[in-house]
Amino acid sequence: MSNLEQTLSIVKPDAVERNLTEDIKKIFINNDLKIVNSKKIHISKEEAADFYKVHQAKPFYDELCTYLSSGPIFVMILEGEGAIALNRKLMGATNPKDAEPNTIRKLYGISIDKNSVHGSDSAENAKIEIDLFFKN
Ligand code: CMP
């Protein structure tokens, strides 16, 4: 049975700054994820706060929003079979220290904050996050 999904991926400021966008795109493409839409943007702290609002009660929320708005990011809609879980597998654990070898965060992440990529964690959030960046 087919399970074609879309998910949102963000190349975060630390990785855009180090010119890693093309390398990260290649990892997705080589693993059967199609980039169906993408753009480089620089969001405001308010927009970052809206994007990360599921984390608003967390102690690191303010820092997280400051960071995501600190420089350009590259946002993508990825499409493929089981795209949500596949993207999360390719990214690796949130903390690069805990990530499996050859995952994006293991290869490129600097710290739990500067972990190079974000990916939607569920079908529900994938839809919300895609709409936030790509509707209208
Ligand atoms: P991301 O997948 O973008 O989702 C929320 C982000 O919060 C996460 O990646 C991390 O970069 C960041 N973060 C900072 N501190 C923590 C923490 N203690 N636990 C989880 N995520 C954290």
In whole angstroms, give the CA distance from residue 3 to residue 93.
23
> For residue 136, is pLDDT > 70?
no
Catalytic residues: 118
Residue type, 28: F
Query: Using a 6 Å cutoff on CB, does residue 105 contact ligand 1?
Result: no
- Give, using CA atoms, the residue closest to atom 11 of ligand 1: 113
Answer yes or no: pTM beyond 0.75.
yes
| Per-residue pLDDT tens over the stretch 59-110 | 999 999 999 999 999 999 999 999 999 999 999 999 999 999 999 999 999 9
Question: Which atom number of ligand 1 is nearest to the Cα of residue 52?
Answer: 5
Q: Distance (Å, rounded) from C-alpha 103 to C-alpha 90?
A: 5
d(CA 81, CA 21): 22
CA-to-CA distance for 55 and 59, rounded, in angstroms? 9
Q: Is 128 helix (H, G, I), strand (E, B) or coil?
A: helix
Candidate from 60, 75, 121 with most ligand 1 atoms within 8 A of CB, to mutate: 60
**Average pLDDT rounded to a whole number, residues 32-58:** 97
Contact 50, 65 (CB under 8 A): no
Tokens coding 49: 């706060």
